[in-house]
Structure 1
């Protein structure tokens, strides 16, 4: 079984390489060791492909469970160069998608996954405390808001369903508290859960890498996988441009790259951008707005706006669902400043007039692996008995990747537990249309959503056809917040 060649991002030490703000800031502050490249022939018990949250959590959990395991991780670029080092840093759960979980997996499993996703928030915080990872973890909750009349009541159904099972962490806040927590008078209503927060995504991924190394994991960077040969009953052979790695078992954790890398995953995800900006530090202004906390805030549109403050007084604001990649390709613009910066600035001015003249420190974007259901899926690669995979976080991976590590480590260890029995381990639960229909359809739906939500912002009735097209996107849930 061979992996097709992938377009590779330039190494971080290339002078012209663009780096998202979180990624660059983390490497400046954490000063990780120089990259070690895989050269020559090596062997291990478990090889992990992908140096983001999922790969690192899996490596750490494997070593915690069985310290004697020889675990090696290969990354095509630097640790965290993918989504893990460039997301918005919103630490969220699956509780807002309980109804979809219930439809997919049944009531009992849906409740377990909601509770596990909330537990993951506190587990990540506690892990960082235990291992002295200064990732700016602030478990200050999440606020889902309405910024126009059409968004009002969007959380009532799921809140009622969770409350009926005594499993709801959400509560409706008085409008004064909503606007104070959001830092904006543009909010019309809001619901709050304490089981959420924010984190510096770059510092978290580098902290995980440090701990993995301390536990004995070997990490190879600038070592893209060019081929994978895994005949049944034999060790797998991973090839890179400068070396080979033989492993009894393999974990594939390359997320948005998976659809292009293995034919069986073509159509399982759509690669979509999330675009972000971050201001220069203005702590006094944020204090006046009440944004001195680490809560994650978003509105209730399909392609959501999401924002949060940083400990040094910056505001990060993002918006999902802008660029759809044809054929799941890694577009060059995913490694450039956001071309949607004017729209992001317009939203910043609308929600926070006091920040209208604040300088923007940076803008960036990145690829999100959006699945049909809006949830990740895990399983064993077809034609193999020792290669496992997990991806499709759909823009909410900071917290759920902790669950991904539990799932993949359990699969590798051959355990019989709630994670290996979960419906999440049965592979993809749906496919997007083939190209070019997927890309054409995504453009039609995206543009319909843009028109619909622009009219709703003006409190106008959207066109019927746009409403029907928008429903096609709602099956995959709301856009990126983490």
Structure 2
């Protein structure tokens, strides 16, 4: 196995975004504009919010502002696993919100079906494949956890398949597999960037104004005073809480009745949110398309997504052209919430991923990787999104998806629109806004330099647990006791 040779021609760019079909950017904001709803962020969260706002109330004037390109950050760099889970797994949800879990599961399934319905209704070709996901055991200590997961899943109405080593290898031929749990219905594979581009096209078709290369640099709220600057034009939000919000950008400004923040891992316009989030870099490779002989050597006829059961886990799946996306393992935090383009390329991690790939699929020795890239994940201590509002419910936010955003951002968009009252009677609550998950917040991360130290200690202890048959040391057990953690 020659890892250097396998990576030698890999483009340092996201595979999904390296596509001649990538749309040209929309014009940047120019001058002062007004609207009913301003959405900050052109990833999945912002796009779903803009689209569903227009579907709830077609008369709304909606403006979406994106600092870079549509889908250029996490939404165009992820693995394309679209899950029904809103809680980042059954165990995490049951430990935090046991009373709400049946409702959270039902809402998650409804959300996944609604995503598929939206793609069909708006004719979005995102390479949607409802294949499910198979969690594989590569160490003996993984097997009891998979059996427990299967039992929990059956109790909540799922019908996963618990596979032996022979059964797992019959699905995907890896000598490392000792067993697997295949959830066949609750995860779809898709093309991440095509989903973002298709949602943007659907937004434009409904009248949303999209401005790319428009970084919002400031937020100012006028006090509520009976309608504010826009109250005469739009009566739906007149009265209490109706003072406008002002967004500043280098090339212009937006004055809006309501604002939805969907800026992911990037510094929030609401400073109070910054303690809840850390940007964590995740890395991935993709191989060149496999030959017919190589595909035959690994099987994988059902094209399901795959992930192993380690603390430092890998995720992998097939692309439409027959390549393999292989990512995960390293989750890298840089001191001071470091965010810059240079951090998207990490040769040491790419080499580690390549070695692990060939351990999993030794029969593919000699294959080359065509792309190697990184992206940033908005991570919080409870592993799934949190929600809220500010400025008398004139502003709403959803953040902290911790790697679960492909599907859960649509649910988060619905929550934000509920909190903003879009399409609702004054003061109306919804089933979503009554959930404890929506009403509560994660434990914040400590300030620097303690933040960096705590995260690095947690990463080292997770790696040690993987080397030590899953046995968790004092530090990880303490975090477990308080429902805290670190993930990507």
For the aligned pair, the TM-score class normalised by the smaller chain equals: 0.7 to 0.9
Residues 402-417 of structure 1 mapped to structure 2, 5 A cutoff: 402-412=410-420, 413=422, 414=424, 415-417=428-430
Residues 132-143 of structure 1 mapped to structure 2, 5 A cutoff: 132-143=123-134
Task: Give 3-state SS (helix, strand or coil) of 2:473's partner.
Answer: helix
State the TM-score, normalized to the length of structure 2. 0.86
Provide the rounded CA distance (Å) in 2 between the counterparts of 1:339 and 1:216: 45
Provide the rounded CA distance (Å) in 2 between the counterparts of 1:211 and 1:473: 43
Contact 1:232 1:385 in 2 (8 A): no
Residues 136 and 455 of structure 1: CA distance in aligned 2, closer, same or farther (over 3 Å): same
1:282, distance to aligned residue in structure 2 (A): 1.1
Provide the rounded CA distance (Å) in 1 between the counterparts of 2:161 and 2:486: 20
Provide the rounded CA distance (Å) in 1 between the counterparts of 2:271 and 2:282: 25
Residues 262-341 of structure 1 mapped to structure 2, 5 A cutoff: 262-284=270-292, 285-336=294-345, 339-341=348-350
Contact 2:134 2:183 in 1 (8 A): yes
Match of 2:457 among 423, 444, 451: 444
Contact 2:75 2:192 in 1 (8 A): yes
Task: Give 3-state SS (helix, strand or coil) of 2:289's partner.
Answer: coil
Task: Give 3-state SS (helix, strand or coil) of 1:365's partner.
Answer: strand
Contact 1:135 1:207 in 2 (8 A): yes
1:432 alignment counterpart: 445
Task: Give 3-state SS (helix, strand or coil) of 1:266's partner.
Answer: helix
Alignment of 1:87 with 2:78, yes or no, is yes
2:50 alignment counterpart: 59
Provide the rounded CA distance (Å) in 2 between the counterparts of 1:78 and 1:314: 25
**Structure 2 portions without partners, runs of 5+:** 1-10, 225-242
1:184 alignment counterpart: 174
Task: Give 3-state SS (helix, strand or coil) of 1:187's partner.
Answer: coil
Deviation by residue 1:158-204 (Cα, 9 ceiling, x = unmatched)? 43234334x22323124333123334221111111122121110111
Provide the rounded CA distance (Å) in 1 between the counterparts of 2:343 and 2:436: 32
Task: Give 3-state SS (helix, strand or coil) of 1:408's partner.
Answer: helix
| Aligned residues: CA RMSD | 2.2
Contact 1:321 1:479 in 2 (8 A): no
Residues 459-470 of structure 1 mapped to structure 2, 5 A cutoff: 467-470=473-476
Contact 1:40 1:243 in 2 (8 A): yes
**Structure 1 portions without partners, runs of 5+:** 1-16, 457-461
How many pairs are equivalent? Answer: 450
Provide the rounded CA distance (Å) in 1 between the counterparts of 2:374 and 2:479: 20
Residues 396 and 477 of structure 1: CA distance in aligned 2, closer, same or farther (over 3 Å): farther
Deviation by residue 1:447-475 (Cα, 9 ceiling, x = unmatched)? 2222332454xxxxx7x7x6333446764
Contact 1:317 1:348 in 2 (8 A): yes
Provide the rounded CA distance (Å) in 2 between the counterparts of 1:96 and 1:366: 19
1:428, distance to aligned residue in structure 2 (A): 2.1
Task: Give 3-state SS (helix, strand or coil) of 1:421's partner.
Answer: coil
Residues 352 and 394 of structure 1: CA distance in aligned 2, closer, same or farther (over 3 Å): same
Residues 87 and 39 of structure 1: CA distance in aligned 2, closer, same or farther (over 3 Å): same
Residues 162 and 228 of structure 1: CA distance in aligned 2, closer, same or farther (over 3 Å): same
1:396 alignment counterpart: 404
Match of 2:155 among 164, 187, 203: 164
Match of 1:20 among 11, 14, 20: 14
| Larger CA deviation: 132-141 vs 320-329 | 320-329
Match of 1:240 among 235, 245, 249: 249
Provide the rounded CA distance (Å) in 1 between the counterparts of 2:217 and 2:12: 24
1:11 alignment counterpart: none
Deviation by residue 1:84-138 (Cα, 9 ceiling, x = unmatched)? 010111122327622332332332x211212222333333223222222111111
1:145 alignment counterpart: 136
Provide the rounded CA distance (Å) in 1 between the counterparts of 2:416 and 2:393: 14
1:357, distance to aligned residue in structure 2 (A): 1.2
Contact 2:331 2:487 in 1 (8 A): no
2:94 alignment counterpart: 102
Contact 1:449 1:469 in 2 (8 A): no
Contact 1:378 1:389 in 2 (8 A): yes
Residues 478 and 186 of structure 1: CA distance in aligned 2, closer, same or farther (over 3 Å): farther
Provide the rounded CA distance (Å) in 1 between the counterparts of 2:405 and 2:347: 21
Task: Give 3-state SS (helix, strand or coil) of 1:149's partner.
Answer: coil
| Larger CA deviation: 307-316 vs 317-326 | 317-326
Provide the rounded CA distance (Å) in 2 between the counterparts of 1:258 and 1:104: 27
Residues 238 and 471 of structure 1: CA distance in aligned 2, closer, same or farther (over 3 Å): same
Residues 218-257 of structure 1 mapped to structure 2, 5 A cutoff: 218-233=209-224, 234-257=243-266
Residues 136 and 471 of structure 1: CA distance in aligned 2, closer, same or farther (over 3 Å): farther
Task: Give 3-state SS (helix, strand or coil) of 1:402's partner.
Answer: helix
2:118 alignment counterpart: 127
Provide the rounded CA distance (Å) in 2 between the counterparts of 1:355 and 1:63: 48
